[in-house]
Amino acid sequence: MSNNKVFYPQFLDFMVKSGALLFGDFTLKSGRKSPYFINTGEYSDGEELAILGSYYAKLIHNSVRESPGGIDEHVEQAEIDRLNLLIAKKFNVLYGPAYKGITLVSLAGAALASKGLNLYFSFNRKERKTHGDESLFFGHTPENGDKIAIVEDVTTAGTSVRETIAILKELGIDARITSLYISVDRMERGTHDISATQELQQEYGIDVHSIATTYDIIAYLENPACTIPEAAKHADAMREYLKLYGAKQL
């Protein structure tokens, strides 16, 4: 369950402008009909990637703070150094599940390195090779004792996290996933009444942090300053969607 309490309307502006946050009628992998869709595959130039990486770095820094700060706040280097030490105690590897996680983990790792925190990064092949380099991982290969943070776009059912846990178990790697960082928590039910992110926390002890939630998007749409056509209609549709599929809040 995310403990990030900062609302970033700038991030939602950024997602809409980049085409990564869309409103309309979409069919999800789960088969559910959704009034909104998040696709981080729409980021298409270097500037957008740099901005996205900075948001993930901010999210990761905020995740170890008692009082999270906004994206534009000035943080003294001494405080950044302190936060870096806290993060390094939680995990030493950033991991991105293929395919979208590959870009996201690379951006997050580079952005954190620019702040003085140099972590290992790793991502997996989607399909195993039977020739040449048959390793399942690129970058750092997880080892016994590693503590891993997964960087993803959206978690609806927690599938990629469970797949990662299964891969580590299959390979006999005694590494632990401690954290999950995502762009948007859709706050939908998982296999039970609670959300997939809450399930991950309960089942595996994984701390989940999101830059935004579905309720943040609704608040964004209902802001009088919002310029998205039919914003109120989209907000109403999202509220109705949550009535059908929203998770019980703990």
Nearest to 235 by CA among 250, 215, 212, 249: 215
Collapse the DSSP code of 63 into the 3-class scheme (helix H, G, I; strand E, B; otherwise coil) and give the result. coil
The CA–CA distances, whole Å, from 214 to 109, 125, 141, 210, 247 equal 26, 30, 34, 10, 11
Looking at residue 93, the DSSP 8-state letter turns out to be E
- 3-state SS, residue 168: helix
DSSP 59: H
Residue 223's alpha-carbon distances to 70, 217, 235, 240, in angstroms, are 19, 10, 10, 18
Token couple for 55: 């948001």
Known active-site residue 131: yes
Helix (H, G, I), strand (E, B) or coil at 34: strand
The dihedral through the CA atoms of 29, 53, 124, 210 has a sign that is: negative
- Catalytic site residue from 5, 74, 131, 243: 131
Catalytic residue among 129, 192, 233, 248: 129
Q: What is the crossing angle of helices 46-62 and 9-18, to 10°? A: 150
- 90 annotated active-site: no
CA 170 to chain centre: 25
Residue 179 CA, distance from chain mean position: 10
Q: List, by residue number, the catalytic residues.
A: 129, 131
